[in-house]
Structure 1
């Protein structure tokens, strides 16, 4: 699996395109990036799938409530 990769995502707040650098050397991660367009935080959850040799990336605005 690659150590670093860039993924382009859409901001859940404004819809702007954001380039995110993913570092796979630390395993599964849960982190935040600020949108360069609207400056709101974007919550990212990265899951490494070693069997399929790919990355599953979940994105949300972190202001969504789960009950």
Structure 2
């Protein structure tokens, strides 16, 4: 089972649960918000100890 992380959409503020494939290593991808359908930039970093860090931002953020 993939670990899940709850984030808040940077547009509408609603909670969104992301399934993280921690076997794929560091990742950068776009996930659409399931509530407002806007694109969220997701950056996943896997630490040496297996800790998962998830950062998000609006796709149009500078």
TM-score by length of 2: 0.91
Q: What residue is the counterpart of 2:35 in the other structure?
A: 37
- Structure exhibiting the larger radius of gyration computed from Cα positions: 1
- Aligned residue pairs, count: 62
Q: Let me know the Cα RMSD of the aligned residues.
A: 1.2
Mind listing any 5+ residue stretches in structure 2 that lack a counterpart? none
Mind listing any 5+ residue stretches in structure 1 that lack a counterpart? none
Corresponding position: 1:13 with 2:11: yes
Q: What residue is the counterpart of 2:57 in the other structure?
A: 60
| Misfit runs of 4+, over 2 Å | none
TM-score by length of 1: 0.85
- Whole-Å separation in 2 of the counterparts to 1:18 and 1:57: 12
